Structure 1
């Protein structure tokens, strides 16, 4: 396997180094890296997506027989898609 080329550092002249030291000063800050998501977070995320899908399937198949689903009417689509979108939005914070 070929080795990658090593980049060479650019030499800074000593005459300008004191003048450039003030203008090129960089500060370093530590960044806290989050660990992996817990199993509860993943369970809730997947649960919301599956619950939204099941809500829509139940509405299509037996929606007229279930009184509270029948009273919601087409708002059942909003409930099902809101549950699925909530789970999908959680995937953006999943590590």
Structure 2
């Protein structure tokens, strides 16, 4: 009885950004401590702004201290997206 021909498996294309192994590299050792530090500094800035009615952490900025605190926290949270 004749045997059927073996099919070739289609090759998957490589990602445009390089190899898949390169994108899965672990984060540098300083990444996680920096990420956590930024989130804690932002939280402290927001809490200080509320407790001192806008006078601290930077006197004279008023409620812009909230924006600075939330901005620092957002940078820390965006760092979590790249953490491996």
* TM range, smaller chain: 0.5 to 0.7
Query: CA, structure 1 residues 86+73, in 2 after alignment: closer, same or farther (shift >3 Å)?
Result: same
Q: How many residues are matched?
A: 77
Cα distance between partner residues in 1 of 2:79 and 2:38: 9
Equivalent residues in 2 for 1:1-95 (5 A)? 13-14=4-5, 25-26=10-11, 29=14, 30-33=19-22, 34-63=24-53, 65-66=55-56, 68-69=58-59, 71-95=60-84
Deviations 1:23-57 (A, max 9, x none): x6525645224332233111110011000001011
Within 2, Cα distance between the matches of 1:61 and 1:47?
Answer: 21
Aligned-partner Cα distance in 2 for 1:57–1:35? 36
1:88–1:72 CA distance, 2 compared to 1 (3 A): same
Do the aligned partners of 2:27 and 2:83 also contact (CA within 8 Å) in 1? Answer: yes
Runs of 4+ aligned structure 1 residues displaced above 6 Å come to: none
TM (norm. structure 2) is: 0.68
What residue ranges of structure 1 are gaps of 5+ in the alignment?
A: 1-11
Decide which structure has the larger Cα Rg and report it: 1
More helix by share: 1
